[in-house]
């Protein structure tokens, strides 16, 4: 398959804007339609475009398993961790006002609430992006990539020892 000049030219220039738009949707989620999940899906879609214009192997180099896989856990960890820090600061789990401290003014609590909310939304976004990217790469893996060494876990030991 020879890549089309138009597709790759337009695609390359569209990707940064897609990613920027994803961040906009993330930041918007707090007081309007949008948020981490939607932002994450949009961010992941930029990688889908990358696969379409640059090919699977080249795109996988930009998003290698060694980075994407841990990010799946990291986003979730960010979410749960913010909740846990609230407990450490003396609030209930996910009680964001705890970040403002015990005797904070209403405005400061509001402020803390905003930032913690953006924090957990960012966590959602990271996990959603990483999961979507992984799903897409696994489902679109071309046949010549199927037996790549990174995929070869499992069957090496204990096969044939079935009862």
Partner 1 sequence: MAGQLPALAVVVPLLVALLIPLVSRFNRRAAWWMVVGALGFAVYGAVAMLLDLCGSPIGTTIEYAMGRWAAPTGIEYVVDRLNGIVLTMIAAVGLITALWMRKSIRSEISEKARPGYYATFLLCATGYMGMAITGDVFNLYVFLEIASITSYVLIGMGRTRQALYAGYSYLIVGSIGATFILLGIGHLYMEIGTLEMADIAQRFAANPELYDSSVVRTSFAFFTVGLAIKMALFPLHGWQPSAYSRAPSAASLFIAATATKVSAYVFYRISFSVFGADFLISALPHIRDGILILAVAAIFVGPLLAIRQRCLKRLLAYSSVGQIGYIMLGVVLLNEDGLTGGVIHFWNHAAAKGALFCVAGVLVYRTGVSRVDALAGMGRTAPWTSAVMTVAGLSMIGVPMTAGFLSKWYLGAGALDAGRISIVPVLMASSLFTAMYVWRLVQLVWFAPKDTEPLVKEEAPWSMRIPALVLAAACLYFGLTSTSVDIARDAALSLGLGAP
Binding site for partner 1 (CB under 8 A): 69-70, 72-74, 76-77, 80-81, 83-84, 86-87, 91-96, 153-163
Q: Which is nearer to partner 1, 25 or 86 (CB)?
A: 86
Q: Which is nearer to partner 1, 23 or 141 (CB)?
A: 141
Residue 124's Cβ-count burial label (10 Å; 0-12, 13-18, 19+) is buried
**Least distance CB 149 / partner 1 (angstroms):** 11
**Least distance CB 97 / partner 1 (angstroms):** 8
**Least distance CB 9 / partner 1 (angstroms):** 38
Q: Which is nearer to partner 1, 77 or 118 (CB)?
A: 77
Q: Which is nearer to partner 1, 19 or 74 (CB)?
A: 74
Nearest to 90 by CA among 79, 78, 77, 104: 104
Residues 45 and 38: their CA atoms lie apart, in Å, by 11
Residues 24 and 17: their CA atoms lie apart, in Å, by 10
Angstrom CA distances, 88 to 49, 73, 81, 92, stand at: 42, 21, 10, 9
Q: Which is nearer to partner 1, 49 or 94 (CB)?
A: 94
**Least distance CB 22 / partner 1 (angstroms):** 23
Residues 84 and 108: their CA atoms lie apart, in Å, by 20
**Least distance CB 50 / partner 1 (angstroms):** 24
């Amino acid at each position: 398959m020879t890549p089309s000049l138009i597709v790759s030219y337009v695609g390359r220039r569209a990707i940064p804007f897609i990613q920027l738009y994803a961040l906009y949707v993330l930041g918007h989620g707090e007081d309007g339609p949008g948020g981490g999940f939607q932002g994450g899906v949009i961010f992941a879609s930029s990688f889908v475009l990358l696969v379409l214009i640059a090919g699977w192997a080249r795109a996988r180099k930009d998003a290698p398993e060694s980075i994407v896989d841990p990010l799946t856990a990291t986003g979730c960890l960010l979410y749960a961790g913010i909740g846990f820090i609230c407990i450490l600061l003396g609030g209930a789990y996910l009680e964001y006002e705890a970040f403002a401290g015990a005797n904070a003014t209403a405005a400061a609590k509001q402020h803390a609430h905003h930032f913690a909310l953006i924090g957990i939304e960012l966590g959602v976004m990271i996990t959603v992006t990483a999961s979507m990217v992984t799903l897409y790469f696994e489902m679109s893996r071309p046949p010549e990539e199927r037996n790549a060494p990174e995929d070869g876990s499992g069957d090496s030991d204990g096969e044939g020892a079935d009862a």
